[in-house]
């Protein structure tokens, strides 16, 4: 084990800790009870034929509840203007609030999308705060967020949930609304690990050149949105060719996580997208169920506060993929 990767310092070796998940170090990042932030109302909007559909969540909730009675469920609150404005322009907030024309082909102007998007961003903030307070947390919400730009909704995303949560974690305690529901610790550096199959172009744009943030995205390229080919400043991009071998993909994800941990963040946020799965209908990648279990095992060995936020994942197996990830993280 390289000593420079301090967060894995207890592990016998990098190979042991990451590939096989047999680190014998005490696990402090996550209690055995996964904290899930979820609002059932996030399933109340849909457009016929759209892959980002309510069933993604509707089928996941009962599966997790039936298998993991000990996990704790929390209803999130809406993100406030002050919190969203750390990432987005006031004009963008107004456009989402009054959405009447679709933002683009992928990103409809659903009725009340402002409400749903604010709940999703609020859940990301609350999950990050729960992590900072010592509890590993997962936001099980829609819409996703990692394609939303400062001034633009795109790619099924309206607000940059993970970027909003990151900027909230870095904000001074007296610099904005901070509910008293979660304990807060001092966070100087945040790392974002985005394993969704699409480049986290929105997150990249919202955090680029912020020295207190390190962002890594592992994604299909060529593929939508067609960005994320180069690393720069605080951004690490790992483009993966369509139909690449699963082992190459997993190795890139591992390298990305290691580099993020070298940054010595006090908080790790995960853009957890499950659309790199081999059977996902909108990508051409090859990960299997076990690989998402592996990602969860890695997080179990990361000894810093960690929260994950659902991004994509459009196959019918999404509930099982989420369970593999969370079960191995929270075990």
Q: Site residues (CB under 5 A) for Zn ion?
A: 196-198, 273, 275, 312
Nearer to Zn ion, 39 or 196 (CB): 196
Indicate the residue among 10 and 224 with the shorter CB distance to Zn ion. Answer: 224
Burial zone of 48 (CB within 10 Å; 0-12 exposed, 13-18 middle, 19+ buried): exposed
Name the residue nearer to Zn ion (CB basis): 305 or 312.
312
Among 53, 321, 49, 38, smallest CA distance to 195 is for 321
Query: Minimum Å distance from CB 134 to Zn ion?
Result: 30
Q: Of 296 and 313, which CB lies nearer to Zn ion in the complex structure?
A: 313
Shortest gap between Cβ of 220 and Zn ion (angstroms)?
9
Sheet containing strand 213-220, edge to edge, reads: 72-74, 35-37, 137-139, 306-310, 267-272, 190-194, 213-220, 235-240
> Cβ neighbours of residue 261 under 8 Å, at least 6 residues apart?
5, 6, 7, 8, 191, 268, 302, 304
Closest distance between Zn ion and the C-beta of residue 282, in Å? 8
Cross-strand bridge partners of residue 272: 310
Closest distance to Zn ion from the beta carbon of 121 (Å)? 18
| CB contact at 8 A, 253 and 220 | no
Where on the phi/psi map is residue 313: left (φ > 0), alpha (ψ -120 to 50), or beta?
left
Cβ distance to Zn ion smaller for residue 74 or 219: 219
Residues paired with residue 191 on neighbouring β-strands, in sequence order: 214, 268
Residue carrying structure tokens 């009447």: 100
Contact 296, 306 (CB under 8 A): no
Shortest spacing between CB 204 and Zn ion, in angstroms: 14
Q: Contact at 8 Å (CB) between 296 and 326? A: yes
Measured between alpha carbons, how far is 298 from 281 in angstroms, rounded to an integer? 26
- Beta carbon nearer to Zn ion, 51 or 54: 51
Is 147 among the catalytic positions?
A: yes
**Least gap, CB of 264 to Zn ion (angstroms):** 28
Catalytic residue among 146, 147, 198, 249: 147
Catalytic residue numbers read 147
């Amino acid at each position: 084990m390289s000593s420079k990767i301090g967060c894995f310092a207890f592990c016998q070796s990098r190979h042991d800790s990451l590939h096989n998940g047999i680190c014998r170090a005490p696990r402090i990042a996550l209690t055995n009870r996964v904290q899930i932030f979820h609002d059932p109302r996030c399933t109340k909007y849909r457009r016929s034929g759209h892959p980002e559909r309510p069933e993604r969540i509707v089928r996941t909730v009962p599966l997790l509840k039936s298998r993991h009675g000990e996990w704790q469920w929390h209803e999130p609150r809406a993100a406030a203007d002050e919190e969203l404005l750390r990432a987005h322009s006031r004009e963008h907030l107004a456009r989402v609030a009054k959405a009447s024309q679709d933002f683009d082909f992928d990103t409809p102007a659903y009725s009340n999308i402002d409400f749903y998007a604010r709940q999703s961003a609020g859940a990301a903030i609350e999950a990050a705060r729960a992590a900072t307070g010592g509890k590993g947390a997962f936001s099980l919400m829609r819409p996703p967020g990692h394609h939303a730009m400062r001034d633009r909704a795109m790619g099924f995303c309206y607000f940059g949930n993970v970027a909003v949560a990151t900027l909230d974690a870095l904000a001074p305690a007296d610099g904005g609304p901070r509910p008293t529901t979660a304990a807060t610790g001092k966070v100087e550096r945040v790392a974002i690990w985005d394993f969704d199959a699409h480049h986290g172009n929105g997150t990249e744009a919202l955090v680029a050149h912020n020295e207190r943030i390190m962002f890594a995205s592992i994604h299909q390229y060529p593929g939508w949105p067609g960005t994320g080919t180069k690393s720069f400043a605080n951004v690490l991009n790992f483009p993966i060719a369509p139909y690449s071998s699963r082992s190459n993909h997993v190795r890139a994800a591992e390298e990305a996580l290691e580099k993020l941990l070298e940054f010595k963040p006090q908080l790790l946020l995960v853009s957890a997208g499950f659309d790199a799965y081999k059977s996902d209908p909108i990508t051409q990648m090859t990960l299997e169920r076990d690989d998402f279990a592996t990602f969860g095992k890695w997080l179990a060995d990361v000894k810093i506060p960690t929260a994950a936020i659902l991004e994509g994942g459009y196959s019918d197996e999404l509930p099982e993929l989420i369970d593999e990830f969370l079960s191995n993280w929270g075990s």
